[in-house]
Amino acid sequence: MTIHLLAFAPNTRALRSHPLSLEGPGSSCSLRLRSLPGATGVQVALTNGDGLLLRAEVASEGDELVEIEIEWETGGQWLLSSAGRRVLLLPSDGDEEPTPILRPAYKAKQLDVALVVDGTLRGESAGTDPAAASCLLSDRERWGAHVDQLVEMIAGLSTQTGADLRVAVVAFGDHPVPGTSAPDLRPVYHLYPSTPDERFLQRETAEPLRSRLRSLPSTSGGDFVDSLADALAACRALRWRGGSRKLLVITGDSPGYSILHPSPLGADAQVRERDVDVEVVALHGDGVEALTIYHAPKVEGGAAAFLRPFVEHTRGQYQRIASRPDLAFEASSFDPTAAVRALRSQVLLVGRGASPGILSRSNRDRTRRARG
């Protein structure tokens, strides 16, 4: 019986079955797998041709080499280990599938971009510097400069690829905090534009896009967690073109709701319907790449210790949303040219969560061990 590993071969986009040098109970082999860029682990799946024998997830960073030892014990049992790494064994008869692999369409002649903009206020009510007591959209000088950067990035990517460009713009606010009447807790909008019919991908050139972005209205945000997850769900409903390269750009300083990575205590005052991580995985499965630009607020003075966990939580979420680490930017150092360069880098496969790895090496341990 031949045992196979499901993995990618170097420089290919296809998941293949690779025979392993396991000769039967008592034999073992070592593997070296490279985790995919964007992945947080390597999924190991062994099969004998009739079905799965072993499934496991080994924690890793994206684009990292992972050493794995596999032992075939007597009685048909399997052992999998990786020194210094967390290993999660999964039921071999389960129906859970890894998150689909994203294969960016670098050569596409169509480019669809969804711009998701944080329209919410941050300010004195949260204890920050009064100079920062306005949202990005209400500071017209700062927002105008950032709009120029966004337009330069999108136009630059479209020009370099020669792709037909279509852009959708969605700003997110929040739902009103229940039982409150204070103006700073009553957002002007949840999503803008407010109806799905007004949110669509349209052909756009630089100047009309610049004007559209500069005219976006701002809103109070209520509590700390805002409707980013709802904005991502709205982007899932866009009519992305089938053959296009699909790109999501998120710019702001507000987090969305997450079950796996909850916000600090007291950050959220209401029940949420949607989860950031769920929506990002769904967009990833639809072939949408994500680039994020985080606008870190000032956390100086006496409020620094209080605010720092909120800032780090949001920064971590924006980094997690990005498809790859090199697509997560800080607004203070954002360079449109560098962003285009990162988007143009030929990364064949992009993972999310635990994904099958790229097989780098498979060796047999010639020492046969009787067990039992």
What DSSP string runs through 60-118?
--TT-EEEEEEEE-TTS-EEEE-TTS-EEEE-TT----PPPPB---TT-SEEEEEEEEE
Q: Could you tell me the mean pLDDT of each successive run of 10 residues in the chain, 372 residues long?
A: 90 90 89 96 91 92 95 88 94 76 95 96 44 65 95 96 96 86 80 93 94 92 88 97 97 95 88 95 97 87 78 96 97 97 95 94 51 36
pTM of the predicted model as reported, rounded to 2 decimal places:
0.90
The topology (CATH level 3) of 4-101+352-365 is: Jelly Rolls (2.60.120)
CA 200 to CA 361: how far, in whole Å?
46
Distance of CA 95 to the CA centre of its chain: 24
Are 311 and 296 in contact by the 8 Å Cβ rule? The answer is: yes
For domain 110-344, the CATH architecture is 3-Layer(aba) Sandwich (3.40)
Which pLDDT does position 361 carry in this prediction? 75
CA 245 to CA 358: how far, in whole Å?
24
**Where do the structural domains in the chain lie, given as residue ranges?**
4-101+352-365, 110-344
Written as six digits, the tokens of 26 are 């008592």
CA 71 to CA 24: how far, in whole Å?
10
Report the candidate in 286, 313, 349 with the shortest Cα–Cα distance to residue 42.
349
Which pLDDT does position 95 carry in this prediction? 65
Q: How many CB atoms lie within 10 A of CB 65?
A: 14
CA 165 to CA 245: how far, in whole Å?
10
Which pLDDT does position 122 carry in this prediction? 54
In the block, tokens 């920062």 appear at 132
Which pLDDT does position 123 carry in this prediction? 43
CA 284 to CA 247: how far, in whole Å?
10
Cα distances (Å, whole numbers) of residue 322 to 134, 213, 328 = 26, 22, 5
